[in-house]
Structure 1
């Protein structure tokens, strides 16, 4: 029986110490593909992605850099997408933040090589510019139930801080039960001082710039200058972007897709929660598959499904109960779940 699935591609922050060697462990059969990625890195005078994955030890100062982490995540996620079992029909593809670039390739709008070029180029440009900072803070409690009042209170605080002289702070990503905020050092410090600790949060994200804010306009402009519209082709499956808009096969304006990808997608907030909601309601999949590397995005997908009450999911306990009966969500970065979709 065919399993209808929505494919979800991860963004930055998902290749960490536990993921070192991911390509070698899981994708030794894709030497040709990885060699093509390595060749693109070599053209730019950069270390091969296979060498980075094969490093003797994980070095946070190196492996979390945009020009290092981005190609590692792309190669891992794209190779995972190629490894899915034959009974799985991908009915739509989406992604979180940088995962949008991976989704473009997984959904056929970019070739494997052009997807890698996109990710590698934007990772390098953002690392070189290093404009702003990011942090994460929860907007739900331990039960994962939506809390509109708490969210509204936090967003009011963000707006108030951003209105102060010499402070920049804005929503970067609506990530299920988390808000990813971006701004300058004073803006983040003011937020950290104003909110109570919640576990490790507010948590700053190392080597992350002020993604998805107007602070990234110079980076978007540089990206448009070096990544041409003719890289894009018609997608082969529907793509759901960071607004929840759907780009349909045979009906996509590829110039508009290029413009969104290197414009709005970089400089405006990314609504991952909305993207998952649209995926659930419009495509009614049997399951959501989150490619590796990493395991952190699964929680955001589950929280997004709870937020839209998909299949009667009301809280974390309800999700865990349903997941135990028959998985609604498979994270390929988890060894116990990966085998379910290979």
Structure 2
């Protein structure tokens, strides 16, 4: 083996988390892992305090965790962004080469920062504004239900029947998570859908403090966002990005105006296909590993199921994935201590 092969960097795709990933267990994440990023976090807090909001460091370590407080869109979104972006900055650049960035829902906004399309403070403005607009409107809600079997093997007929049932009850597909579907709609539509779905513990599960993201119900939020953030200037990314349709944006092929239009248009009112984003990432960039940024690691199952759907890394079931994770992990989550340590520079 040559010296060059021994020192080859591992190619990784970063995956940015969505809402619902900062919970009781994640309280203190910034204080635990990112005290070395004081300047960045102080700048974030100055911005937040200027908007009359509690600082992120205070929410993370001074204000005791309360679901009602910490899961609010105007707090949770910025907290998750700070954790994920700081995690991205922590990865050892001597051992890992980031070849693409993608994310789920809110994770698209974080992707814009992690891939260099928006400077970190501008990304915070976008995320904070969208969190406020969503929280103020809080239109509808979300419900999640599996469309794979217990071994995470895809069930296409079940998936088709779930989509048809949702339409019948007046709900819409919000996010495709691979082995699970997230539906959005008004409370009455989601209740009708929930009543029709066969119980499969703990599903159907309603998501707390979530609006009907990525559905037509968000049209009023879209219009407000486009007016409020008309000044936002995007740049072509320095690292390729994969959006919620599976479209790739590169440094040489990205029109900043189209980026603005997608971010404050399509992705607000149309379904977000996270599974497709993961599958495109694997097929087009052939990473050695996928890295899920913190806080938390709840997207791990969805990522695994998206890989199984595509037959990526020769995975065909949950058992395959677990075995692979134990021998040569294809997914490293920064919210899991042991896996996190593999991604950091040596001390």
* Alignment TM-score, normalising by the size of structure 2: 0.95
1:76 pairs with 2:83? yes
Following TM superposition, by how much is the alpha carbon of 1:230 offset from its aligned partner in structure 2, in angstroms? 4.4
Alignment match of 1:90 (pick from 79, 95, 98): 98
Alignment match of 1:186 (pick from 182, 188, 195): 188
Q: Which runs of 5+ in 1 are unaligned?
A: 163-168
Contact 2:233 2:256 in 1 (8 A): no
Q: Which runs of 5+ in 2 are unaligned?
A: 1-7
Alignment match of 1:106 (pick from 114, 120, 125): 114
Following TM superposition, by how much is the alpha carbon of 1:320 offset from its aligned partner in structure 2, in angstroms? 1.2
* Secondary structure at the counterpart of residue 212 of structure 2: coil
Contact 1:20 1:55 in 2 (8 A): no
Counterpart residue number, 1:165:
none
* Secondary structure at the counterpart of residue 342 of structure 2: coil
Cα distance, 1:46–1:56 mapped onto 2, change above 3 Å: closer
Cα distance, 1:279–1:229 mapped onto 2, change above 3 Å: farther
For residues 265-314 of structure 1, what are the alpha-carbon distances to aligned partners after superposition, in whole Å with 9 as ceiling and x for unaligned? 00000000000000010000000000000110111111100000002110
For 1:132 and 1:56, locate their aligned partners in 2 and report how far apart those are by CA, in whole Å. 28
* Secondary structure at the counterpart of residue 41 of structure 1: helix
Counterpart residue number, 2:311:
309
Counterpart residue number, 2:68:
61
For residues 223-276 of structure 1, what are the alpha-carbon distances to aligned partners after superposition, in whole Å with 9 as ceiling and x for unaligned? 111213542111001100000000011221000000000000000000000000
* Secondary structure at the counterpart of residue 93 of structure 1: strand
Counterpart residue number, 2:281:
279
For 1:229 and 1:331, locate their aligned partners in 2 and report how far apart those are by CA, in whole Å. 35
Contact 1:229 1:258 in 2 (8 A): no
Contact 1:145 1:315 in 2 (8 A): yes
Alignment match of 2:299 (pick from 293, 297, 319): 297
Which segments of structure 1 move beyond 2 Å, counting only runs of 4 or more?
228-231
* Alignment TM-score, normalising by the size of structure 1: 0.97
1:151 pairs with 2:153? no
- Pairs aligned (count): 336
For residues 137-195 of structure 1, what are the alpha-carbon distances to aligned partners after superposition, in whole Å with 9 as ceiling and x for unaligned? 11112100011011011111111112xxxxxx100000121100000111111111101
